Amino acid sequence: MPKRQPVTAGFDRAVIPTIAFINKAKVGLGVNFDDMIAAMQTFLDEHFTPVWGAPACLIKASKPKRGDWAMIFLDDPDDPDAQGYHDITKNGLPLSKVFVVPTIQSGDLVSVTACHELCEMLIDPTATLWSEGPGRSLWAYEMCDAVEDETFNVDGVTMSDFVYPAYFEVFRLKKPRSAQYDHLKRLKQPFQILKNGYSIVRNGRKTYEKFGSRAKKLRFKKEDRDFHRSEFRKYGAKAATKIRRRSRGG
């Protein structure tokens, strides 16, 4: 049987981002770093990219080369003024940060957090995209929030469920069975939020989190969300200013 070609083989390599995975954490990740990178490449090639058309080449590195995007694993938040996982480097390139200690303390898996951030970074690097939702609302174009507790294994490493493009197509509310809305087929219609998920919604000037259940809302309040990239989206212009200020600093 011929060896399966990666999805990246069908794209111009000159326009595919290379994402350098850099582990600066001193505490254990709960998963072998090399195995996680390999599994996440398979996740992209076989699950995510065929749906979203957003390939990437993942590599292990000690620092990113010129032009590379990056995902850095750190023990704790590295900037007391930080508002999110996602950042932009001084060269204007996407950078995701996975804070290992808060992730583990929250009972989450580092691989799932990294997968979540990878999906979001590839589709909306600057956290600025919104989709028109029911009742003229705007929904943040987030790939994993609505299904964030749903997971599946790729080569023995746990990955995050993610929504499909049809999830953001408001016209499908009239015929919800006309499409698939997430990879694991947990969602039954557009803009649905599973009981352990949430979404960021804007109505007029008001932006808020919409939860799939009261239990999730209560748990959300107890979680340390100060370093989640959705804070950038929620606070708009103020967050953008902070991104630019930190970017100039390196």
Model pLDDT for residues 65-95, shown as the tens digit of each residue: 889 999 999 998 765 433 235 567 777 888 8
- Please check whether residue 245 lies inside any domain of the structure: no
Whether the predicted pLDDT of 247 surpasses 70: no
**What is the side-by-side order of every strand in the sheet holding 94-99?**
57-60, 18-23, 69-74, 94-99, 86-88
Q: How far is CA 111 from the centre of its chain?
A: 12
- Please check whether residue 246 lies inside any domain of the structure: no
Mean pLDDT of 145-151: 95
- Please check whether residue 67 lies inside any domain of the structure: yes
Q: What is the pLDDT of residue 133?
A: 96
Which residue, among 54, 63, 172, 170, has the nearest Cα to 120 in the 3D structure? 54
Of residues 175 and 224, more confidently modeled: 175
Q: What is the pLDDT of residue 223?
A: 66
Q: What is the pLDDT of residue 84?
A: 33
Residue recorded with tokens 């107890």: 222
Q: What is the pLDDT of residue 64?
A: 87
Quick check: 161 and 182 in contact, CB under 8 A? yes
Whether the predicted pLDDT of 8 surpasses 70: no
Q: State the average pLDDT for the chain.
A: 83
Global pTM?
Answer: 0.84
Residue recorded with tokens 């370093």: 227
Burial of 215 (0-12, 13-18, 19+ CB in 10 A): exposed
Indicate the pLDDT class of residue 106, thresholds 50, 70 and 90.
confident
- Please check whether residue 132 lies inside any domain of the structure: yes
- Please check whether residue 76 lies inside any domain of the structure: yes
- DSSP string of 105-152, one letter each residue: HTT--HHHHHHHHHHHHHH-TTS--EEE-GGG-EEE--SSGGGTT-EE
Mean pLDDT of 58-70: 93
Indicate the pLDDT class of residue 155, thresholds 50, 70 and 90.
very high
Which of these ranges, 14-18, 144-148, 193-197, 225-229, has the smallest mean pLDDT? 225-229
Mean pLDDT of 36-51: 98
- Please check whether residue 11 lies inside any domain of the structure: no
Indicate the pLDDT class of residue 250, thresholds 50, 70 and 90.
very low
- Please check whether residue 8 lies inside any domain of the structure: no
Q: Structural domain tally of the chain?
A: 1
Question: Which structural domain range is residue 95 located in?
Answer: 16-237
- Count CB-CB contacts under 10 A for residue 211: 18
- Count CB-CB contacts under 10 A for residue 41: 22
Mean pLDDT of 190-203: 95
- Please check whether residue 243 lies inside any domain of the structure: no
